Structure 1
Amino acid sequence: MPEGKIIKALSGFYYVVNEDGVTQCRGRGVFRINNITPLVGDNVVFQAENDKEGYILEVKERKNELVRPPIANVDRAFLVFSAVEPTFSPALLDRFLVLVEYNHIEPIICITKTDLASEAELEMLEDYATGYRAAGYEVLFVSSETEAGVEQLYPHLEQKISVFAGQSGVGKSSLLNVLRPDLDLKTNDISAHLGRGRHTTRHVELIEIGDGLVADTPGFSSLEFQEIEAEELGSCFPEIMKASERCKFRGCLHVKEPKCAVKAAVEEEVIPRYRYENYLNFLQEIKDRKPRY
């Protein structure tokens, strides 16, 4: 049986790229019975009844999967945040980072609209970038308007499935249009009333850019920590996880425990205070979460 990868899902059809091109497929009824939904990014076995139509018979084991956006086997996430319009939010970025880390996806922080930022705003962003880089993250500054810094993205796209994610209006589609101009993806301005952009992407599709595949996703519509337990949260902050190895007590949550190396690192400014405060806020959110039954 032929095998391939789903590169687009739309209106009940799955478009599977394979050695013969792209085959439009439907899912067999057995998937609904077994509560399996094929996702963009899935490696599948399919049966082609002719050169244009077929049926997906099997979904191979996934490395990871995201619910919103619905995509599987993601290697890398470009977390796109704007310098201005909307204003850069480290709390929101940390929320994205936690979800990406939890799903074992490598994050790249990409700050757009640098051409619109003032000198003071750029200095503030550089301070934040220093903290994130110290934690081990790659931070790139780019402008879709001037194309400054965009060339930095290409090496990170090679041989990977990547997603571009971030809140509405930060310029994800604009950035992809610069990376591959023939896409001509729709973009919308920021809504003055809402202070954020309107979603311009309506379905998930993998797009070839260089030697990699990129998903222009509708954005994370859910940023809640439904699956993460309190004991797991620290592992989603690389600098906290590293410092926690020196905590006196195993299972330290770095809140009120004595001889906590994480709290010491915050006092010594090794860990940025805003990162620690976001950790505490997320931890409380997880503790306050309604139990699942």
Structure 2
Amino acid sequence: MEGILLRRYGGFYYVESEGRVWTCRLRGRFRREADLLPGDWVEIVPLGTGEGVIEGVKPRRTLLERPAVANVEQAIIVFALSTPPPDLELLDRLLFLSSVKDIRAVIVWNKADVGREEYLDLPTVYREIGYQVLIASARTGQGVERLKELLTGRLSTFAGPSGVGKSSLLNAIYPEFNLRTGEVSAKSGRGRHTTRHAELIRLPGGGWVADTPGFSRLDLPPMDHLEVAAHFPEMEPFIGRCRFNSCLHRGEPGCTVAAAVEAGNIAGHRYEHYLNFLDEVIARERSY
């Protein structure tokens, strides 16, 4: 039988197959070699009522290391328009990684009902770049039906820092889930972790969503530094038009990207993050 791994815990693997969830273990040699993640499609052999053994795993189409989920089609990247304050570098890292992994990204700006004025232009900034943007409020229900439509029929992961309302949004869409939620700490201004283990949740309308732990740091994968700019879509019209073919867009004369930043056609914070990511990728290349 073929099924999808929903979660793993304490040496057990919970696999959905043929309309039910099977509690499985790994077979012999496969136990030492396998590093299975939620989202993996596996082959199982039933052993008894609701129990089975995993005999093999299908090739992965995509892989996210953090949150660790396999075969994701869509990343729902959630940030708040109030607290915790949006960490734009983390947002851009998530968007960058989604592009590198060829995963569709949707930015959800939650807590619109208590949005702070200094953050209200952020959805427009990212929409103008070309990202799909949804403004939502788990409390009032704003944007909830549209988010439900985006989730249906796909394997999606929710990503973003703790406290932005990822579990609250899922509870607003499907109250029967009753996922744990947490408040933002008044002392630190940061969210408390409420999701402890990555797991897939079957959606009533079809598809799955990964409820994953929040995080505040995300490293970039090994890659060629010449590819970094290609994952900033607003730079695309200017790439190849600089004076030098080898231009890295960090101060070289005749750089069209730098000129676009000066002219306000590329957001300053996005360019700053591009330079940070470029330096990080180059440093990693030199370490090998």
TM-score (norm. length: structure 1): 0.90
Corresponding residue of 1:58: 56
Answer whether contact 1:31 1:37 (CA < 8 A) is retained. Answer: no
Corresponding residue of 1:139: 133
Corresponding residue of 1:93: 91
Q: 1:95 to 1:20 in 2, by over 3 A?
A: closer
Of 165, 172, 176, 2:159 maps to 165
Deviation of 1:253 (Å): 1.6
Deviation of 1:192 (Å): 2.2
| Percent sequence identity over aligned pairs | 46
Query: Aligned letter for 2:234?
Result: E
CA distance in 2, matches of 1:8, 1:95: 26
Deviation of 1:273 (Å): 1.9
Answer whether contact 2:243 2:255 (CA < 8 A) is retained. Answer: yes
Deviations 1:195-236 (A, max 9, x none): 211111111221123222111101346501142442222122
Corresponding residue of 2:261: 266
CA distance in 2, matches of 1:8, 1:146: 31
Corresponding residue of 2:72: 74
CA distance in 1, matches of 2:158, 2:237: 27
Corresponding residue of 2:25: 26
Q: 1:291 to 1:58 in 2, by over 3 A?
A: farther
Deviations 1:221-272 (A, max 9, x none): 6501142442222122112234314334444321133333322322332222
Of 218, 226, 231, 1:223 maps to 218
Answer whether contact 1:206 1:216 (CA < 8 A) is retained. Answer: yes
CA distance in 2, matches of 1:156, 1:267: 36
Query: Aligned letter for 2:235?
Result: I
CA distance in 1, matches of 2:247, 2:30: 42
SS of alignment partner, residue 153 of structure 1:
helix
Of 271, 277, 280, 1:282 maps to 277
Query: Aligned letter for 1:23?
Result: W
CA distance in 2, matches of 1:51, 1:93: 44
2:245 aligned with 1:246, yes or no? no
TM-score (norm. length: structure 2): 0.92
Deviation of 1:96 (Å): 1.6
SS of alignment partner, residue 4 of structure 2:
strand
CA distance in 2, matches of 1:186, 1:71: 20
Of 39, 42, 54, 2:40 maps to 42
CA distance in 1, matches of 2:140, 2:9: 34
Query: Aligned letter for 2:230?
Result: S
CA distance in 2, matches of 1:251, 1:29: 52
**Paired residues, number:** 287
Deviations 1:147-181 (A, max 9, x none): 11212212211211101111011111111100110
SS of alignment partner, residue 49 of structure 1:
strand
Corresponding residue of 2:105: 107
Query: Aligned letter for 2:141?
Result: E
Q: Quote the RMSD (CA, aligned, Å).
A: 2.0
Query: Aligned letter for 2:178?
Result: D
SS of alignment partner, residue 45 of structure 2:
strand
CA distance in 2, matches of 1:245, 1:96: 25
2:230 aligned with 1:235, yes or no? yes
